[in-house]
Amino acid sequence: MKLVIFSGLIILITLNGCSTLTLKPADFSWPLESVMDVNKDGFVNEERYALSFDSRNMFIEETEDSSSYMNKKIRVIRDTKGFYFITSNNFKNVYVFNVYDGELRLENKILISEKGIINPAFNQRSPGIELIEGDNRHLLSNDGIINEDENEE
């Protein structure tokens, strides 16, 4: 009998040790967007959130011009799930990235305007991220546009 109890205890301890520790709920959102200058090498750095990355490939993807990142600013915000939303003035898209093994990997590219976004700004707006461009507002999730503002044509 003692052997059965001892064996059961060992199994419980082993199973408990194999489970993954989960801390939830967790909120990864940034309360405000970050506006970051792109340096001469294409890198951006946000010290407040300990974020830095090479933005050149995103600019090439957007503009098909390898020097289009020069003297630009990008806008970045992070949602509650941990996705990074990134865009820049005159971009047509908002790029949604997730963190994988020390890199930002594109999860979605959300087309906002074929003409390009003028003076974009991000805000936290439950249940997603709000993109403001002039009088137009778009509520975004990592999957795409949640709704369209009635002001849009």
Ranges of H-type helices in the chain: 2-18, 56-63
pLDDT digits (tens), the chain, 153 positions: 666 565 555 555 555 556 788 777 787 888 888 999 999 999 999 888 889 999 999 999 999 988 889 999 999 999 999 999 999 999 999 999 999 988 999 999 999 999 999 999 999 998 899 999 988 999 999 999 997 544 444
> H or E element: which one contains 35?
strand 34-37
**What are the structural domain ranges in the chain?**
24-148
pLDDT at 138: 96
Helix (H, G, I), strand (E, B) or coil at 10: helix
DSSP codes joined into one string, 103-128: EEEEEEEEE--TT--SSEEEEEETTE
pLDDT at 56: 94
**Selection from 136, 140, 139 nearest residue 150 by Cα:** 136
pLDDT at 151: 43
Contact 109, 101 (CB under 8 A): no
pLDDT at 92: 97
